[in-house]
Amino acid sequence: MDETFRAIWVEEVAAGKFDQQLVQRRLQDLPDNPLVLAVSHSSLNYKDALSAFGNRTITREYPHTPGIDAVGKVLEDASDTYEPGTELLVTGYDLGMNTPGGLAERIAIPAGWALPLPAGLSARESMILGTAGLTAGLCVEKLLEAGAKPADGEVLVTGATGGVGSIAVALLAKLGFRVAAVTGKLESADFLTALGAWKVIDRETLAPFASKAMAKPLWAWAVDTVGGETLFNVIKSLAYGGGVAACGMASGAQFQANVFPFILRGISLLGVDSVELPLEKKARVWDRLASDWYIGEQLGRIAEDISLEQAPEFLARLHRGHGIGRYVVDMA
């Protein structure tokens, strides 16, 4: 048990100043959980960036290893749930929050957090999707359950170049929806168009809606990854009977609202959580992402492969809102 492995290590080096380094850790330093995985790939999510820069609503105590996503083979399982060598996928629960996360070559977790890698997805593809893909899938599922159909009109996606946003654009386009992709990075319009966006809209277009109680109905449905005032600007501009699947807070957690869109246009605010969702519900969406919702060649467009050494640099990029698509950390 004196085996060592490489991990990202976030430390508070001065009050409120956090540093991210690649270090060697020992297997015995991991928590006493039954399932030990040799991680082949992880990915970077906005939440990892928050954890890496000391956000204590995500991670209470430092030093800490972030990484809410991981895929890898079973090294040992004291719960006897999985055979050694089985390839498992983990997203969410406490991984990378207060449990040492997937930005490391080894993790130790409860067996109930892991799923067998769905048939039809490679380990790398599962991490191109990761929590972002699962969340995009859950958002799309919420819209479909609310009755969304391509004939209804355009679907708005905010934070469109980000992880959740880019996968939502590709998935909705695959399902035949006309996607209006909202971004702060108009220079990435070609990326969004290649993913299937019908049109690309400057983030600033939504800003004037803030001063109005209601805006002109422009979109049938929406996926909002940005939160804050943007979320209510989106709600105000949905057409009668529409709804928004809200999953994010990249621009903030608070927003001011009024009741008019809800009581005059019957708009639905559909909350999405991918973290504490029961495992069987996660499995159902993963199976769809591996089959009828498989976005094939778009996965290659969305992904950039990086090494564990590069993770701190790319976490800083996500923290500034400058990420594009998904960053897959290759430890194979």
Provide the binding-site residues for ligand NDP, judged by CB under 6 A: 45-47, 131-132, 135, 159-165, 183-185, 203, 225-226, 230, 247-251, 272-275, 318, 321, 323
Rounded Cα distance between 4 and 289, Å, is: 34
Pull the structure tokens for residue 80: 């006897």
Q: Closest approach of Cβ 25 to ligand NDP, in Å?
A: 25
Pull the structure tokens for residue 202: 């400057």
Pull the structure tokens for residue 196: 């299937």
Q: Closest approach of Cβ 23 to ligand NDP, in Å?
A: 25
* Three-class secondary structure of residue 108 per DSSP: strand
Q: Closest approach of Cβ 49 to ligand NDP, in Å?
A: 7
Nearer Cβ to ligand NDP (44/74): 44
Q: Closest approach of Cβ 206 to ligand NDP, in Å?
A: 9
Taking alpha carbons only, the member of 106, 46, 54 closest to residue 275 is 46
Crossing angle of helices 123-145 and 279-289, rounded to 10°: 100
Q: Closest approach of Cβ 251 to ligand NDP, in Å?
A: 3
**Angle of CA points 71, 328, 200, to nearest 5°:** 130
Nearer Cβ to ligand NDP (39/97): 97
Taking alpha carbons only, the member of 299, 188, 322, 182 closest to residue 244 is 182
Whether 11 contacts 62, CB under 8 Å: yes
Q: Which residue is nearest to ligand NDP (CB)?
A: 162
Nearer Cβ to ligand NDP (74/323): 323
Q: Residue 119's CB: how many other CB atoms inside 10 A?
A: 8
Rounded Cα distance between 139 and 143, Å, is: 6
Q: Closest approach of Cβ 152 to ligand NDP, in Å?
A: 24
Nearer Cβ to ligand NDP (265/317): 317
Q: Closest approach of Cβ 328 to ligand NDP, in Å?
A: 13
Pairing, β 17-26 against β 4-14: antiparallel
Q: Closest approach of Cβ 36 to ligand NDP, in Å?
A: 25
Nearer Cβ to ligand NDP (30/245): 245
Taking alpha carbons only, the member of 108, 113, 112 closest to residue 36 is 108
Nearer Cβ to ligand NDP (117/189): 189
Rounded Cα distance between 81 and 269, Å, is: 38
Nearer Cβ to ligand NDP (137/242): 137
249-252: long-range contacts, CB 8 A cutoff, minimum separation 24:
250/46, 250/159, 250/162, 250/225, 250/226, 250/321, 251/226, 251/227, 252/227, 252/228
Nearer Cβ to ligand NDP (196/248): 248
Q: Closest approach of Cβ 26 to ligand NDP, in Å?
A: 30
Nearer Cβ to ligand NDP (160/285): 160
Torsion sign across C-alpha atoms 313, 318, 321, 322: positive
What type of residue is 310? Q
Taking alpha carbons only, the member of 199, 200, 168 closest to residue 187 is 200
